[in-house]
Amino acid sequence: MFTFTTLFDAIPADLYILLTFSAGFTSFFTACFGIGGGVMLLGIMAQVLPPQLIIPLHSVVQLGSNGGRALMGFKHIDWYLIGTFFPGALLGALLGSLVLVALPPAILYLTIAAFILYSCWGPKLPPMALGKAGTFAAGTITTFISLFAGATGPLVAAFIKQLYVDRFRTVATFAMAMSLQHGVKVGVFEGIGVSLTAWWPLLLSMILSGGLGSWVGLKLLNRLTDKHFSGMFSVILSLLALRLLWQAYSQW
């Protein structure tokens, strides 16, 4: 079979196509239903890519995918929240780059799953948790964790879900927050010497495919109501939380 040996280390053509298609489909899923695509893509990439490159490569693809989605929904972004979330994300990335250790997976999964389930089905978070201090803390904690766990999108989404009813504001603000988070993560990985230069042909294909998937997904989002979107958003988040609980159980 023809392989892209001149671009990077012998990536088979079928694998190249699989990852490109997966980036498009998972971006479509996130744009349409608000969440889930990043975790789905991480799971696919974990099956076929070198372990030490999974999170750095995933970060670049998600930066492109979420960045495109944020541009498409630019007018709906809550810039007040972003202005508080981003400094927290920078602090989380700085702390993560200094620690560079793997957190206990079971505890990590249990904590994220518990917060997601509480945010979806429990009482609303207190005003303090949703204010400036809470948003800054969310940016710090989720970015720190994402350097080791990869996809903390469900955690950020669970936080943002507490703030908005409007589906367009939810999707656009979430996309912008994740763009910034993945952006600082890419900076950290570059800073510690993780070189992704040889992988850019594949990454570019995945980013372009993700942009197309986002565009189609946002078109479908127009056909949903805020009520239906909120319900599906909660269900999908809950399914992701159950997956995390299963992963925690498997780690014990």
Own/partner pairs, 175-179, CB within 8 angstroms, 24+ separation:
175/66, 175/67, 175/69, 175/70, 175/73, 176/66, 176/70, 176/77, 176/82, 177/81, 177/82, 177/85, 177/89, 177/139, 178/38, 178/62, 178/66, 178/153, 179/63, 179/66, 179/67, 179/70
Distance of CA 132 to the CA centre of its chain: 22
Write the pLDDT tens digit of every residue in 17-67. 899 999 998 888 888 776 777 777 877 787 777 767 777 888 899 888 889
Q: How would you class 227 by CB atoms within 10 Å of its CB: exposed for 0-12, middle for 13-18, buried for 19 or more? A: exposed
Write the pLDDT tens digit of every residue in 202-232. 899 999 999 999 898 888 887 777 677 667 7
Q: Distance (Å, rounded) from C-alpha 131 to C-alpha 190?
A: 32
- The structure's pTM equals 0.73
Query: What is 12-34 written as a DSSP string?
Result: BHHHHHHHHHHHHHHHHHHHHHS
Mean pLDDT rounded to a whole number for the chain: 79
Please answer whether residues 158 and 238 qualify as being in contact, where contact means their C-beta atoms are separated by less than 8 angstroms. Answer: no
Residue 36 corresponds to which amino acid?
G
- Residue 66 tokens read as 């979420």
Instruction: Check residue 249 and give its pLDDT.
Output: 80
